[in-house]
Amino acid sequence: MSTIQRTQTHRYMCFNCPNVTLSLSEECKDYLRMRSRGRRISNIEIKMSVNKDFMNCFPRRINNLDISSTMSNDLKYLSQGSTPHVRRFSSFNANGFKFDRKANKNIRETNLAYYGKLEDIIKLNYYARFKVTLFKCKWTDTTKDRAFRKDPWGFTSINFSRLIHIGDHREHDPYIEVSQAEMVYYVNDEVNKNWIIVGHLKPRGLYDIRE
């Protein structure tokens, strides 16, 4: 993985672990207090500091002798980041769907209803303590009427000419954990150019994994 990809995957893992986000917030809050000279710190400032400095905040929190004894071993391994080498899959079965990287499968992120196209399937290895499989996708902008809209009949339409989080920059978030994904299909809108209508598929039982 590139340096940018390692940062993106590590940030995703950290920010999707409640214990980690709490620790990061506390660490950044302590750091901001030292610099604020008694000024009240807003939640927005804390969030911005966490997003900007999480690579340093988390290890600093873990290595704090007053706190480290209360941290689980999994959190300590997570703070180190994954190994530099990842395992890649050409396809992966999850949630009753078969996701195929080469076929550029269409994906919906279930928690926030983002729509995208699958680009890569990787398995992170945290020094054999635990492993996590992630999907890397190109996501459409979900701003209403910009690249996302619903018609009066409830059909969702998206526009792939307006993408977000494509992965080119450090601050992008192109990754999701496989449990958050479901497969959808796209149909070109014959009336509205560049717009695609989203259709939903029913999951089925699949068990094999092919590399």
Tally of residues, the chain:
211
Spatial distance between the Cα atoms of 115 and 62, rounded to a whole number of angstroms: 35
Specify the amino acid at residue 178. Answer: V
Burial (Cβ within 10 Å: 0-12, 13-18, ≥19) of residue 181: buried
Burial of 80 (0-12, 13-18, 19+ CB in 10 A): middle
pLDDT of the residue at 132: 95
pLDDT of residue 32: 54
Q: What is the pLDDT of residue 104?
A: 72
**Are the CB atoms for 101 and 89 separated by under 8 Å?**
yes
Q: Where are the domains of the chain?
A: 3-80, 87-200
Q: Give the pLDDT confidence score for residue 59 in this predicted structure.
A: 73
pLDDT of 119: 94
**pLDDT attached to residue 168:** 86
pLDDT of residue 19: 66
pLDDT of residue 52: 65
Asked whether the CA dihedral 44, 46, 52, 54 is positive or negative, the reply is negative
pLDDT of residue 105: 72
Report the distance separating Cα 67 and Cα 80, nearest Å. Answer: 16
Q: Which long-range contacts (CB under 8 A, 24 or more apart) does 69-76 make?
A: 71/23, 72/19, 73/129, 74/129, 74/130, 75/17, 75/19, 75/20, 75/23
pLDDT single digits (tens) 168-187: 888 888 999 999 999 999 99
Q: Which residues make Cβ contacts (< 8 Å) with residue 33, sequence separation at least 6?
A: 41
Low pLDDT (below 50) residues in the chain: 208-211
